[in-house]
Chains A and B, each alone.
Chain A
């Protein structure tokens, strides 16, 4: 059974770049059946898709965040990462990584999430 675990700083200063890593265990990130995605949830609010990537390196991003987002993969470590630049207080959220089925585009396995607070 695949498991995902987010890691990274819990506090980021305004204007800085957030860097998060998602470590996948119990399955290969190089599977052709899945994308790997990032989703976030501001406190008390709804879910927002940030972007997804395929193990080949192909990426898709939310148009509203595209200019600030980079998702990349390290197949040797079975990890993928998120970088979000020019952070502001509105980027404060729980960030989830998740496995996304390629064929039906739903997220069938999720990490536990990590809270990132943007504050000086």
Chain B
């Protein structure tokens, strides 16, 4: 069970859109729709922002959207704002009741 692959960092200017990729394998991301995304500020607990690939929990901004193609899931942040500067993690169901996280992506707002 290997960690999912995310870019270490992604940056964008306010108002732009950015996309964070999360690449797994046919045994995890490629086989199940159960990909979730978490936002984590320094020193704080992660917060769920996308579940089941593309669904947003109540209260999460619609600027966050999720998608999947093959073995790669993606998180898009549109209309980038200063408050979006944070770390983001993907997580996928990997079969046999196990889960695997990505290594995390630091988003910088220029």
Contacts and interface: CB of A to CB of B under 8 A. Distances in A.
Interface of A: 39, 45-49, 52, 60, 62-64, 96, 101, 104-108, 110-113
Interface residues of B, number: 25
A1 B91 CA distance: 24
Contact of B51 (A60, A64, A106): A106
Interface of B: 1, 3, 34, 36, 38, 44-48, 51-52, 57, 89, 91, 93, 96-104
A104 B50 CA distance: 11
Given A46-B89, A96-B45, A108 B51 contact: yes
Contact of B1 (A62, A111, A112, A113): A62
A110 B45 contact: yes
B98 A106 contact: no
A105 B90 CA distance: 13
Contacts of B1: 62-64
Nearest to A111: B45
Contacts of A47: 38, 46, 89, 91, 101, 104
A63 B96 CA distance: 10
Contacts of B46: 47, 96, 107, 110
Contacts of A48: 101
Given A64-B1, A101-B51, A113-B45, A106 B101 contact: no
Nearest to B50: A106
